[in-house]
Amino acid sequence: MADTLLAERVDTPAPAPASRRHALVPILSALPWVLVIGALLVVWSRGSVPVPDLARFSAYWVLALVLPGTLVHRALRGSRGNLPEDLGYGAATGLLLEIAAWALAAATGQQSLLRWWPLPVLVAFAAVPGLRRHWRVGERRRLPIAWHWGMGAALLVVLAWGYTQWRMVALPPVYGGYYQDVLYHLGLVQELTRAMPFELPHVAGEALRYHYLSDAHIASGSMITGIAPTMVLMRLWLVPVVGTAVILAAGLARDLSGAVWAGPVAALTAFTGAAVTLGSPVGVSGEMPLSYASPSQTYVLVPLLLLAGLIIDAARGRALGPAWPLVPALGLVCAGAKSSALPPLIAGLGLTAVVFWWRKRQVPRPALVALACLVAAMALGFRLRGLHAARAGVGVAALRRPVRRDPRAG
């Protein structure tokens, strides 16, 4: 017996070094994401966010945004082949679904039911046999370990930026002043927790005309979690949304270039670089293309990047299939979140269609259909921001008009 055991022990080959390295790949790939999540929780706690609010908001993001959004995105566009990108694109889709649920709740006065909107989605994907496969990552297309660590570095930079913003803005009640836009958006968030039609919270009886869908997301987060709107606006909502945009930017860069390394590089430079102004009388400000005081500017990055990926596929002649409804839906959300988001995308898509026709003498039908969807979405967006834009135009005209001194003035 001893000889037999010894023989088996001797004959059993030792694990190959390659096998050990292969076993470490999942751990090394997951480690940067664990570090980012841990750092986010620590930074939130240092930003005076109570532990119960941390737990509720984290559960809200996972269960009410990321999970249903990932299932729907996989059903409409398929899996990206890896979990981080699936969850990032799923979070973006979840934000889109949340806006639709919020609009329905606000139109019917059923805001108390808003927190249950993910339930029908989860039940459908659990009950329908053809949808159950979307609970898993599709055909695996693993990304290298360096990609995961590069994305972790980009997300940590964004997290550090968010923490510097929080440190400059204390939570109320506090003695001191706030930047006026922060208080303006806080009023909008409070107003958007009520039923339609909305009124300008600062002027009684006047209809609200503004690109307010970023505030609708913050209001939804407050209503679903029960966390105070001031806490959601000034602490909680910003970094998860920007982190989602970082993942979308990396995915878009990888799709455009075909190079895996382009994703982390594009994500890092896109959110840390400054705009280049050639021959402009206005110099480079040196600021990141993110704004704590302008939720609309930051929030719109998510639907805009998700929409850009769809538009690029349509311009390249790739079939969108069941993902086509996302184009007008995302276009409308972009128009309702930031009035300046769609015009550059529409101009670029129109130019692409013209160049395609000029070079190949073929009508780019998918691109034209997408262009029509975006133009229609922008037109509908005027109902949200028409009065705001008109007032802005009057203000600019007043600034350009020469000032004439009244001879009667002393």
SS (H, E, C) 393-406: HHHHHHHHCCCCCC
Residue scoring higher pLDDT (246 or 288): 246
Q: What is the residue whose two structure tokens read 């705001």?
A: 388
Q: Are 211 and 339 in contact (CB under 8 A)?
A: yes
Q: Which tokens in the block code for residue 197?
A: 């039609």
Q: How many domains does the chain have?
A: 1
Q: What is the pLDDT of residues 2-29, one digit of tens each?
A: 444 334 444 445 555 556 667 788 889 9
Q: Are 307 and 345 in contact (CB under 8 A)?
A: yes
Residue 378 lies in a domain: yes
Residue 374 lies in a domain: yes
Q: What is the residue whose two structure tokens read 């995308």?
A: 345
Q: Which range, of 77-91, 97-111, 161-175, 211-225, averages the lowest pLDDT?
A: 161-175
Residue scoring higher pLDDT (243 or 293): 243
Residue 410 lies in a domain: no
Q: What is the pLDDT of residues 332-364, one digit of tens each?
A: 999 999 988 999 999 999 999 999 889 888 888
Count Cα neighbours of 351 within 13 Å in the Cβ-side half-sphere: 6
Residue 261 lies in a domain: no
- What does the pLDDT read at residue 97? 98
Residue 364 lies in a domain: yes
Residue 343 lies in a domain: yes
Q: Are 92 and 263 in contact (CB under 8 A)?
A: no
Average pLDDT over residues 185-213: 90
Count Cα neighbours of 109 within 13 Å in the Cβ-side half-sphere: 1
Residue 326 lies in a domain: yes
Residue 390 lies in a domain: yes
Neighbour-count burial for 123-161, b at 16+ CB within 10 Å, e otherwise: eebeeeeebeebeebeeeeebebebbbbbbebbebbbeb
Picking from 38, 46, 259, 59, the residue whose alpha carbon sits closest to that of residue 147 is: 259
Residue scoring higher pLDDT (212 or 293): 212
Q: What is the pLDDT of residues 40-53, one digit of tens each?
A: 999 999 988 999 99
Structural domain of 324: 300-396
Residues 26 and 274: their CA atoms lie apart, in Å, by 35
% of residues, the chain, pLDDT over 70: 83
Q: What is the residue whose two structure tokens read 């259909």?
A: 369
Q: What is the pLDDT of residues 113-134, one digit of tens each?
A: 999 999 999 999 999 999 999 9
What is the band of 281 on the pLDDT scale with cuts at 50, 70, 90? low
